[in-house]
Amino acid sequence: MENNLEYLKTCIIKGKVSLGIPHPKDMVGLEGADEVTFQLLQKGFTPFDILNLSLLPGMKVVGNYFKEGKYYIPDVLMSAKAMKSSMKHLEPYFTSGDLQYKGTVVLGTVIGDLHDIGKNLVKMVLEGGGYKIIDVGVDASAEKFINAIQNTPNVSAIGLSALLTSTMLNMKEIISLVKNNFSHLKVLVGGAPVTEKFANEIEADFYSPNPQDALIYLNGIDK
Q: Which residues bind another protein (CB under 8 A)?
A: 21-23, 25, 28, 66-67, 69, 72-74, 77-78, 80-81, 84, 111-118, 120-121, 124, 139, 163-168, 190-195, 198, 209-210
d(CA 127, CA 166): 29
Task: Name the residue nearer to another protein (CB basis): 1 or 68.
Answer: 68
How far is it between the farthest Cα atoms of the chain?
Answer: 55
| Helix or strand (DSSP H, E) at 91 | helix 73-96
Q: Within 10 Å of residue 8's Cβ, how many Cβ atoms?
A: 28
Task: Name the residue nearer to another protein (CB basis): 133 or 185.
Answer: 133
Alpha-carbon torsion, ordered 87, 61, 21, 74, to 10 deg: 110
Alpha-carbon torsion, ordered 23, 24, 30, 33, to 10 deg: -80
* Min CB(156)–another protein separation in Å: 22
* Min CB(122)–another protein separation in Å: 9
Task: Name the residue nearer to another protein (CB basis): 31 or 139.
Answer: 139
* Min CB(74)–another protein separation in Å: 6
Task: Name the residue nearer to another protein (CB basis): 25 or 43.
Answer: 25
